[in-house]
């Protein structure tokens, strides 16, 4: 066959695409289990971060199993509905009406014997999804710790939600004020919310992302109100 012909070029390209595509598909399938394991380990790491535990990368599963002594889901009535919170896809759940969601709960028992309840949150920032975990004391109101992450917020601006300077503001804030459930909100620095809910300062220059965090906390934590009232 004439290697300078158009037919040869087309056949060569087709064969190359088939070979490369097959190789990539085989590689992807071969690594799928490992990729899923890495995703799960990273989720466990983020959950532990909300209670100020930072395990080594090769010790995440062991630390998760040590400190997360129970996990389950509840409905908006506060009733338990299943036993495996890790199976819940929060990105899918937040698309549903609140009363149709499966609400994950992770129960953490720290070294001093104290119990923390870790609740996941998921929402939208400026450029993509944002998410995190909020850990509450056994009183069902006081925030013990918080961890937030993002997919593509602007470095130095909205991306600052993942930094301790932002997350640590939530420590000690209350979810119940005067026996009324009010998720902590995020406001522009120097301002205060219209209600009496606890609040933290938003990220300077990251107004839209900060508003996204506030909306995420309200949307994702409010459905837990009955559950948290029960453990109070």
Cα–Cα distance measured from residue 40 to residue 24, given in angstroms and rounded to the nearest whole number = 23
Cα separation, 145 vs 228, in Å, equals 16
* Confidence (pLDDT) at 83: 83
The answer to whether the CB of 108 falls within 8 A of the CB of 133 is no
Section 25-39 average pLDDT: 66
Statement: residue 57 has pLDDT above 80 = no
Q: What is the mean pLDDT of residues 108-119?
A: 96
Reported confidence tier of residue 34, pLDDT bands at 50, 70, 90: low
The residues, any chain, with a CB within 8 Å of residue 101's CB and separated by 6 or more, are: 75, 76, 93, 94, 223
Bridge partner list, 135:
118, 145
Q: How confident is the model at residue 2 (pLDDT cuts 50, 70, 90)?
A: low
What is the bridge-based pairing of β-strands 180-181 and 185-187?
Answer: unpaired
Residue 30 reports pLDDT greater than 70: no
- Summary mean pLDDT of the chain: 89
User: What percentage of the chain carries pLDDT values higher than 70?
Assistant: 88
Domain boundaries, the chain: 47-231
CB 147 within 8 A of CB 129: no
Structure confidence at residue 5 (pLDDT): 66
Alpha carbon distance 146, 186 (integer Å): 13
Q: What local confidence, expressed as pLDDT, does residue 95 receive?
A: 96
pLDDT per position as a tens digit, 150-204: 999 999 999 999 999 999 999 999 999 888 899 999 999 888 888 888 999 999 9
pLDDT for 28: 62
DSSP state of 194: S
Q: What percent of the chain has pLDDT over 90?
A: 70
Q: What is the mean pLDDT of residues 92-99?
A: 96
CA–CA distances in Å: residue 168 to residues 35, 70, 98, 148, 198 = 31, 25, 28, 10, 14
Mean local confidence (pLDDT), 16-43: 71
89: confidence class by pLDDT, cuts 50, 70, 90: very high
pLDDT at 50: 97
pTM: 0.84
């Amino acid at each position: 066959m004439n290697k300078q012909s158009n037919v040869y070029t087309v056949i060569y390209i087709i064969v190359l695409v088939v070979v490369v595509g097959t190789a990539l598909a085989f590689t992807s399938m071969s690594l799928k289990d490992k990729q899923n394991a890495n995703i799960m380990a990273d989720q466990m790491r983020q959950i532990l971060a909300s209670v100020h535990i930072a395990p080594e990368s090769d010790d995440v599963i062991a630390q998760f199993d040590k400190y997360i002594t129970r996990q389950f889901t509840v409905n908006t009535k506060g009733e338990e509905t299943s036993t495996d919170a890790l199976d819940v896809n929060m990105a899918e759940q937040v698309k549903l009406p609140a009363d149709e969601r499966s609400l994950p709960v992770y129960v953490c028992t720290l070294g001093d014997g104290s119990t923390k309840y870790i609740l996941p949150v998921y929402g939208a920032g400026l450029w993509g999804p944002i998410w995190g975990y909020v850990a509450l004391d056994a009183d069902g109101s006081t925030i013990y710790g918080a961890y937030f992450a993002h997919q593509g917020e602007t470095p130095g601006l909205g991306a600052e939600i993942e930094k301790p300077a932002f997350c640590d503001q939530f420590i000690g804030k209350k979810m119940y004020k005067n026996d009324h459930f009010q998720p902590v909100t995020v406001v522009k620095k120097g301002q205060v919310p219209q209600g009496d809910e606890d609040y933290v300062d938003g990220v300077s220059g990251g107004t839209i992302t900060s508003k996204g965090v506030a909306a995420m906390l309200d949307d994702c934590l409010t459905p837990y109100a009955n559950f948290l009232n029960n453990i109070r």
